[in-house]
Amino acid sequence: MGDLKAAAAKASGSLRAINIVDFDAFKKHRHPGSYHVVPGDARGEWFFCYCCPCGCGVIAPITVGANFKPPQSPSWNWNVSTTEPTLTPSVHHKGHWHGWLTDGYWRSV
Ligand SMILES: [Zn+2]
């Protein structure tokens, strides 16, 4: 199943990023490119958990700031959208996938 999804992602060149509000469902289904955001702290820093777009099923949490890039590295600037999320800079899941999440789509480089 994962192989088919991965093939579909590669064929289309972009992959829809789907927000999964239920963390248990997110962890259960592990749909490539899906994500779950953990509400931010007083500094406006959130955890953005994404399922690797390559289709391997690995979930990785990254630190994102609400419209800013947190000072620690690595971290990303998130546009605070849960429907059309954009992260900058690019996301590099080493050995798996490297690309951009822009306006709700993962696009590999
Ligand atoms: Zn992967």
CA–CA distance, 79 with 68 (Å, rounded to integer): 8
Average pLDDT over residues 71-96: 97
Average pLDDT over residues 23-32: 98
Distance 59 CA to ligand 1 centre (A): 9
What pLDDT does 99 receive?
97
Distance 97 CA to ligand 1 centre (A): 6
Q: Are 75 and 62 spatial neighbours (Cβ–Cβ below 8 Å)?
A: yes
CA–CA distance, 62 with 37 (Å, rounded to integer): 10
CA–CA distance, 49 with 26 (Å, rounded to integer): 9
Average pLDDT, the chain: 92
Structure tokens at 10: 């590669």
Distance 54 CA to ligand 1 centre (A): 4
Domain that holds residue 63: 2-108
Residues with CB under 5 A from ligand 1 (ion): 52, 54, 56, 96
Number of domains in the chain: 1
Lowest mean pLDDT among 2-11, 52-61, 85-94: 2-11
Distance 45 CA to ligand 1 centre (A): 25
Q: What percent of the chain lies above the pLDDT cut of 90?
A: 85
